[in-house]
Amino acid sequence: AQYEHYGRVGDIKEDFDIISYEDSKGELYSSFKHASHAMLFARNDTVLWDLYKSRAAIMMQMRFDGLLGFPGGLVDPGENPLDGVNRELEEEIGLDLCKHKLQNSDQVVSFVNKSKNLVLHFYGKEVTVNDFSEIEMKTLSAPDYGNETLGMIRPPLYTMGDGYRGLPAFLSNSYAGNSRQELLIGLQHFKILEQDEIEKTRR
């Protein structure tokens, strides 16, 4: 519930409600489509141009449809949401599952969109700066690179002097599902930004 307001862009509430992971497994949602996406990130203390705290490298992507989002995708028949996110990360970013497989404890938040019959699960996992770079390099040879996935990007997490460039400008892009909300939740959940820094980015 504390995250609910991140779904608001201007005064328009996006059509996603937060549900517990336990509830999402219930009978009511068994006929819904489920999808799982993940935020891989590495904390990074460097200061850019003696001015802006870098804070973290976060992996997002430009998708085939021109929208930004996290790597991940639809949970296939016979899979649970965790199996689904691990398979999709292998397909979309070439993640080495021997080293970086996500666990159930990496689940951060889940959402339901009742009008779209859709349940969305969001995972997050911290890796080292070196592992992040290695993972990022490998994305260029991932099976789905060049068709589903058009490039990994790191969101800027600082706000520049004009109050717009940086994270606020990044947040003004178009996003798949509620990945914009997920980014803000991830920043809060993993304490990558302070609460007041996140609030300031609200339009």
Q: Closest CB to Mn ion among 120 and 184?
A: 120
Angle at the Cα of 163 (from 161 to 169), degrees rounded to 5? 115
Strand order in the sheet with 68-69: 68-69, 60-63, 149-153
Task: Please give the size of the binding site for Mn ion, defined by CB under 5 A.
Answer: 3
Instruction: Report the alpha-carbon distance of residue 42 to residue 7 in Å, rounded.
Output: 25
90 makes contact with ligand GTP (CB under 6 A): no
Out of 72, 81, 155, 156, the residue judged to bind ligand GTP by CB under 6 A? 72
CB-count burial class (<10 Å; 0-12, 13-18, 19+) for 50: exposed
β-pairing, 118-126 vs 33-48, is parallel
142 makes contact with ligand GTP (CB under 6 A): no
127 makes contact with ligand GTP (CB under 6 A): no
94 makes contact with Mn ion (CB under 5 A): no
Point out which residues bind ligand GTP (CB under 6 A).
35, 37, 69-70, 72-74, 88, 118, 120, 148, 176-179, 182
Point out which residues bind Mn ion (CB under 5 A).
73-74, 88
